[in-house]
Structure 1
Amino acid sequence: MQQSDPFWASPVDHLAKVRPDVPTFYACPAVLQSVAREFIDGFDGLVTYAVKANADPLVLANLCAAGVTAFDVASPYEIDLVRANCPHAALHYHNPVRSRSEIAAGGAAGVTSWSVDCDVELSKLLDILPPHSEIAVRFKMSVSGAAYDFGEKFGAPADMAVHLLHRVAAAGHRASMTFHPGTQCADPVAWVSYILGAADIAQRAGVHIHRLNVGGGFPAWRNGQRPALSAIFEAIKSTAKAAFPYRVDLVCEPGRAMVAEAFSLAVRVKSRRAGALYLNDGTYGALAELPVVRGFDRVHVVAPDGTPKTGTTTTFAAFGPTCDSLDRLSDRLTLPCSTAEEDYLIFDGFGAYSVVTATRFNGYGASDAVLVQNL
């Protein structure tokens, strides 16, 4: 993603004057910093940012400027990105599977918190980390409310979590806990269930935990009304206070909900056929997540001169630019019947898991980034 320096008034202002022929992200730093402050002011604990959602230096620098002081990293590459843009930030390496060389690299970079979900990975940490390191046991539960379940890949069942927590404490490290309720989780009850589960595991292990990381999973605005984060914040705060007989410091690690709203993506219609649009981006590019996290409807159409397309709508199949027939959006797009070749489709709230997941398959996948004052 190549970034332009001057600010434009809005995406439509830029589209009408430049008429780009490559997918173009419109980034609004003011929105990004506003969302960051919403988390910092509303969440009762430490707010970290999950770098995986969007690792662009623009994002990292603006989050630092807004007051974010800690970042969740998942690889040495992400560690280096944060150190280059926010050199004094705290690093939480909460990818629970790491090679020994990755652990060593994290330690050398000053990682202050680690997660683990099995004996083998815990043994690696105990072999390498200095005394009194923070190790958070990641556990999983069967909880609904998310677009898809993160527990399928990571997280220890309750009995294993009890065992791991006891091992961490017995080894003289600071024992913490962490979980992830699943991506795009809009139901506060999911956090309530997980926090109650964490308290039960800690009690069974006989361990006073140092901190409880309530994960990411906070929902971005993908359709309908914007999700109310305040209800989730309040559920987390009140449940943690009631569930533990002692004060537990809270941590969260939003990715999607932190960065999504600060970006819009404009893609161009290359061709229209009966009932179908062929776009200059698709599932091998910045639209990769749409077939997985479905139900996105924040799309509008403008003509090349910036005029909004309105009127009667119909549904279109939407294909990406590659030669692969799999390069197709799962959901049909409801758009004006007048949508035509060279029009632009603008996807709002598209800053997360878009540019970072794009590939260069078939020579596509490149994009530009333009700074705007308003989205």
Structure 2
Amino acid sequence: MQHTAPLSATPAAYLAKHSPDAPVLFIAPSVLQATARRFQADFDGLVTYAVKANDRTEVLSNLVAAGITTFDVASPAEMAAVRAVCPQAVLHYNNPVRSAAEVKAGIAAGVYSWSIDDMSELAKLRDVPRDNEVAVRFALPVKGAAYDFGSKFGAAPEQAAALLRAVVEMGFTPSMCFHPGTQCNDPQAWVQYVHAAADILRAAGVSIKRMNIGGGFAVDRGFDAPDHRAVFAAVKAALVESFGAEAPTLLCEPGRAMVADAAVLATRIKGMRNEGRTVFLNDGIYGGLPDLRDMGLSGLVDVVGPEGALRQGAPTPRVVFGPTCDSLDRLPDGLPMPEDAQTGDYLLFGGMGAYSIAMSTAFNGYGLAGVALVSDLGAQPKRKAA
């Protein structure tokens, strides 16, 4: 009989018991499953998961337990990770640039839906079964995201219309997809895309049965709580206005918004200098904290002592370095930490389920590799943006 060890109650309890000297990502399955169920309840369409945010088995298996059975994969490795957890999963291969070997791997893995944004990429799909869906990915110069994906992927509207016609001519099931950009909290970004999609389809003389509105849904980083329901309501209204009775069904592919809130990253203070104003951690931008470099400091940071007690001193801005020998291994300046923080304490970064362990390297022999499951993540602080 298989034995499963009981979960630690909280990250602080685990740290007090085990005193790890390497960074640990704490995942709460209850939070992860609740987020997945909330997306499925609130979104009027198919909810898929963008595996790139976190491909750990612990994450994928809990999403499947919560009812997620369709996954956005960007590589053969992600296909294999999903199939290992859910052999019957539906795979959407929405990385629009692929090698011939990757196309072959996608066919072998049973990918159903493919995205393209260029005629050369459509030509690579000549051996894909004709009952598959091919979605034309297009891009617009919309605002509202932390950074835009349109500079890398997405056809211009005129090109998208030509691609749709070519998809139909090759015998595939046509569809459309877009991505408004990372950490987007402006419903109007999605509205503009929905209206543009209708215009493109009219220009192409093509109809579609469903449309992928992408990911990019914002998460709470400790400053402003996102309103996903407002986004979904705006999309539904735009769909009715643009398509009327011929509106396609929808699907979305949250990555960050699906997993971020379900994890806390614990790092340890290795040393302090300049009367505590400079802090050295056992993890940094080459490990589990690259997202802070790209997105800015988080407002979800606690400090606990080795025994698990919360430090409650007045917050003081610090300069924070990671553990490697590279001087670039530095977080944005001004991370608030309690004035009574000490060497040996743990910093708990909330909202770190996405793009933490997924992007961690082993540079200099450091990096985030440890995962522990917990029953509860504990209360997370909320701070005003600087």
* Structure 1 segments (4+ residues) deviating >4 Å: none
Shift of 1:311: 2.5
Aligned partners of 2:31, 2:151: CA distance in 1, in Å?
33
Aligned to 1:161: 160
Cα distance in 2 between the residues matched to 1:227 and 1:48: 19
Query: What SS is found at the alignment partner of 1:163?
Result: helix
Residues 118-129 of structure 1 aligned to structure 2 (within 5 Å) = 118-125=118-125, 127-129=126-128
The answer for the alignment partner of 1:198 in structure 2 is: 197
In the alignment, structure 1 residue 11 sits paired with structure 2 residue 18: no
| Structure 1 partner of 2:365 | 363
The answer for the alignment partner of 2:227 in structure 1 is 228
Asked whether the equivalents of residues 49 and 71 of structure 1 are also in contact (C-alpha less than 8 Å), the reply is yes
Shift, 1:239, TM fit: 1.3
**Which region of structure 1 is more displaced relative to structure 2, 220-229 or 75-84?**
220-229
Aligned residue in 2 for 1:261:
261
Aligned 8 A contact 1:8 1:14 in 2 = yes
Deviation string 1:227-277 (CA, Å, 9 cap, x unpaired) is 121111111122112211403010100000000111101100000111210
Aligned residues: 371
> What is the distance in 2 between the residues matched to 1:371 and 1:136?
37
Deviation at 1:109, TM superposition (A): 1.3
The answer on whether the counterparts of 2:281 and 2:323 sit within 8 Å (CA) in structure 1 is yes
Q: Which region of structure 1 is more displaced relative to structure 2, 349-358 or 5-14?
A: 5-14
Partner of 1:174: 173
1:218 touches 1:229 (CA, 8 Å); kept in 2?
yes
2: CA distance, partners of 1:20 / 1:209: 53
**Contact 1:6-1:371 at 8 Å conserved across structures:** no
Write the letter of the residue equivalent to 2:194: I
- Out of 372, 375, 379, the residue aligned to residue 373 of structure 1 is 375
| 1:324 aligned counterpart, secondary structure | coil
- CA, structure 1 residues 268+187, in 2 after alignment: closer, same or farther (shift >3 Å)? same
SS in 2 for 1:356: coil
Give 2:145's aligned amino acid.
Answer: A
The alpha-carbon deviation at position 141 of structure 1 amounts to 0.3
Name 2:56's counterpart in structure 1. 56
Partner of 1:342: 344
Aligned residue number for residue 249 of structure 1: 249
Q: Percent identity, please.
A: 52
| Aligned counterpart, 1:144 | 143
Label 1:48 to 1:337 Cα distance change in 2 as closer, same or farther (>3 A): same
* Unmatched runs of 5 consecutive residues or more in structure 1: none
Residue 297 of structure 2 contacts residue 332 of structure 2 at CA under 8 Å; is this kept in 1? no
Per-residue CA deviation, residues 141-189 of structure 1 (Å, 9 max, x unaligned), is 0011101001111000111111101111122211100000000001111
CA distance in 2, matches of 1:352, 1:366: 13
How far off its partner does 1:367 sit?
3.0
What is the TM-score when the length of structure 2 is the normalising length? Answer: 0.94
Secondary structure of 1:151's aligned partner: coil
**For residues 269 and 296 of structure 2, what CA distance do their matches in structure 1 show?**
21
Q: Which residue does the alignment assign to 1:283?
A: 285
TM-score (norm 1): 0.97
> Take 1:255 and 1:228, find their aligned partners in 2: how far apart are those partners?
16
Q: Counterpart in 2 of 1:209?
A: 208
In the alignment, the residues of structure 2 paired with residue 91 and residue 243 of structure 1 have an alpha-carbon distance, to the nearest angstrom, of 29
Matched residue SS, 2:292: coil
Partner deviation per Cα, 1:124-157 (whole Å, 9 max, x = no partner): 11x2112232100000000111010011110001
Q: Determine helix, strand or coil for the equivalent of 1:243.
A: helix
CA contact (8 A) 2:24 2:368 kept: no
Per-residue CA distance 1:70-125 (angstroms, 9 max, x = gap): 00000111001100101111000000001112111111111110000001001111
The Cα of 1:5 is off from its aligned counterpart by 4.4
1:68 aligns with 2:68: yes
Cα distance in 1 for partners of 2:359, 2:366 equals 13
Partner residue, 1:237: 236
Amino acid at match of 1:177: M
With over 3 angstroms needed to count, the CA separation of the structure-2 counterparts of 1:327 and 1:314, relative to structure 1, is same
Give 3-state SS (helix, strand or coil) of 2:6's partner.
Answer: strand
Output aligned runs, 1:31-42, within 5 Å: 31-42=31-42
